[in-house]
Structure 1
Amino acid sequence: MMPSEDPELQPVLFGLFLSMYVVSVLGNLLIITAISTDCHIHTPMYFFLSILSLDDICFVSTTVLKMIGNIQTHSRVISYVGCLTQMSLYIIFADMDGMLLTVMAYDRFVAICHPLNYPVIMNPRLCGLLVLLSFLISILGCQVHILFVLQITYFKDVEISNFYCDPSQLLDLTCSDSFSNNIFKYLAVTIYGFFPISGIFFSYYKIISSILRIPSGGKYKAFSTCGSHLSVVCLFYGTAIGVYLESAVSNSPERVQWPQ
């Protein structure tokens, strides 16, 4: 699970990925600190943003830390339990990202389409409940993946052509038939991909319809509150689609040794 086999590139890659990781963590910590210390922005939107920043720290840590360690130790080995643990955390935090982006889209929908009722609808209890529900749905998705992937316990020699334990590639190593695996993949993508994206699109359909009825002077101000959220949505789902398209066209996994 190394990004490069060239020994001369290892120090460069180590410094590059370590710097990117530190910048990502410090940036998200700065967002969390700024939101928690400024009482003027203790609003639902910034509450969800702080939870999203915390989730992003955990999400990045599940893969990048292991990759940095692999570069430093010149080792591609990960234990079977370690791989399942990494995959579990990866799925939880990735699904949590998608759920939170959907929740934030709903928050923008209420703020723009029902501004007078916004403080009543998006009360602290509902905000906390939405975050908890997002986490529970993510946990459920993780458990379903793990139960399906546990079928690969019959394999002792496997290699994943990626720098982390990619769930889709692990499923390709299962002993069950490929038809069942494909059905499971499509179901997982539908539940944790299509439904959140549909929720986001529906929210913005309502938002745009509402903005178009606003006098020209207030349209830009209303839509500007959604700009940052839309940027994060495009970045998150664009990256996810790119990763899984690349994974789909890559070669089948080869064989190596799980450490005993």
Structure 2
Amino acid sequence: MDIKGLTAVVTGGASGLGAATARALAARGAKVAIFDLQKDKGEAIAAEIGGVFCAVDVTSDESVDAGFARAREALGQERILVNCAGTGNAIKTASRAREDGSIRHYPIEVFDRIIQINLVGTFRCIAKSAAGMLAVEPLESGERGAMVNTASVAAEDGQIGQVAYSASKAGVIGLTLPVARDLSNDGIRINTILPGIFETPLLMGQPQHVVDALGASVPFPKRLGRPDEYARLAIEMIENPYFNGEDVRLDGAIRMAPR
């Protein structure tokens, strides 16, 4: 797929992996719409790359519908979707409080929130974008569009306290092949990246010794992943027409320990 001149939507595009991907797409001539809740950051990046910012909550049908409507009105029907919106936390399934020995379990409403953002929110954007892509004629290559999702190595190497996050990201992996098969007859491809430990705003806010230790735990190269490295793989998945239905780790060969 030749990216130049095509419209792309990047969820979570105001920072981290999403921002790097939005910049990479724009550098290749795409018209980029950024879906995010971080208005100031999202508008700044959109202005930088000549794109459009849409305030979007991926847990809301109405918000996602409004975002796609605004993006399509401004830039045209998207042929590219990259899902980077997501969140995480660290809570054990059940645990005993150090203070008084009382026993508590994972709050179900918190578990559901992670699933709603990371898994359901991803699929919501996939389904609505796919419906839009189906309405346009295929490109010369026969393709109507390409999508990239963001899972995590935690889907396979979930650590203590990552039960909701790991489950949500495993769900993203689980939907990749069925969606690829669902859309194959209409020339729409989909792939998923499983990032390891990357330089994201959340992680880089940790103390330097914590960041250094995490980087040293990667077999090679012994550092954190860089957002532009994620973007490079996303671009390859979009441009390479034979890349379809795949889940690819991008992690420097790390395998996460229990904690």
TM over 0.5: no
Q: What is the TM-score of this pair, normalised by structure 1?
A: 0.30
Q: What is the TM-score of this pair, normalised by structure 2?
A: 0.30
Bigger fraction of residues in strand: 2
User: Bigger radius of gyration, 1 or 2?
Assistant: 1
Greater RCO structure (CA 8 Å; 6+ sep): 1
Bigger fraction of residues in helix: 1
